[in-house]
Amino acid sequence: MNNANIKLFVQREDQLKVIPNNPYISGNKWRKLKYNIFQAQKENKKTLLSFGGAYSNHIHALAATGKAFNFKTIGIIRGEPHFPLNPTLQFAQNQGMHLEYISRQIYRQKSDPTFIDSLRQKHGDFYLIPEGGTNQLAIKGCAEIVQDLPFDYICCPVGTGGTLAGIITSLQPHQKAIGFSSLKGDFLTQEVQQLLSQKQGKIYSNWHIDNTYHFGGYARHTPKLINFINDFKQHHHIQLEPLYTGKMFYGIFDLLKQNYFPEGSTIIAIHTGGLQGLDGFQERFGHLIK
């Protein structure tokens, strides 16, 4: 794309190939899992346990990665079970993941040590990975998203903030990161600051989160967003999805229209993946994505 001499590159994290012939382990989800898997191996754990919603990219990735690295996996799923399983959970189960459903109310205790203890009593010992996969080892993995290429801006979608936090830790002083929030509200800036504050002795200031392009909130969409995703595919032959990457690219294109980026800027947009969620989205909303 060329707009006031601006170059926009798409970094295809969705096409990462970690294991030959295994397309399921890719995107920011692999970046987040990588050092957690190594740590679990080091601790000699046999089981990985984590949390997610019924369409979670993280649960999908954890099931595939756990299987590939010979771990048992347990997915604690928010809400009631629905049968037949949606494509995300069916895939997770096919990979050998044990699915356990808990009410939305109990799900809120997902970080509570007493609740985690009760899970240990029930399931035996496990390596715990938080919801969305975000922890300090995930940040270490996401720092590797930033390649040694010249750029001025790097953009990524934001859910829990782990991916953005990792990217921020790898920036050169003249580079800026922009996170595009998929959620409504402005609490994510604080979450990312909190994640970064654990990296002692460093202050990161060359980043911000744009909260404009949530399209109604997490997992919400509008016809404008859907049309954008379909047009984007037609023009650029790159598939996006409506939860994360669609919202980010919509935001970037809108900022380009507003001449937000200085002339001559080079922008890298991270395609974080998440395309597994499309099947479930189409099933729920009626094949909106062409």
Ligand X SMILES: Cc1ncc(COP(=O)(O)O)c(C=O)c1O
CB of residue 117 to ligand X, shortest distance in Å = 26
Instruction: Choose, by CB under 6 A, the member of 57, 73, 169, 211 that binds ligand X.
Output: 57
Does 163 participate in binding ligand X (rule CB under 6 A)?
Answer: yes
Segment 115 to 134, residues that bind ligand X, using CB under 6 A: 132, 134
Instruction: Tell me if 53 contacts ligand X by CB under 6 A.
Output: no
Nearer of residues 57 and 73 to ligand X, judged by Cβ: 57
- DSSP for 78-143, written as a single string: ES---SSPPHHHHHHHHTTPEEEEE-HHHHTTTT-HHHHHHHHHHH-S-EE--GGG-SHHHHHHHH
Q: How far is the CB of 8 from ligand X (least distance, A)?
A: 18
For the chain, give percent helix, strand, coil, nearest 5.
40, 20, 40
Nearest-approach distance from CB 60 to ligand X, in angstroms: 9
CA 87 to chain centre: 18
Rounded to whole angstroms, the Cα distance separating 53 from 205 reads 32
- The answer to whether the beta carbons of residues 113 and 107 sit under 8 Å apart is no
Residue 52 contacts ligand X per CB under 6 A: no
Residue of minimal Cβ distance to ligand X: 274
Give how many residues touch ligand X by CB under 6 A: 17
Q: How far is the CB of 12 from ligand X (least distance, A)?
A: 12
Nearer to ligand X by Cβ, of 71 and 244: the residue is: 244
Distance separating alpha carbons of residues 139 and 175, to the nearest angstrom: 18
Q: Which residues bind ligand X (CB under 6 A)?
A: 27-28, 57, 132, 134, 157-164, 244, 272-274
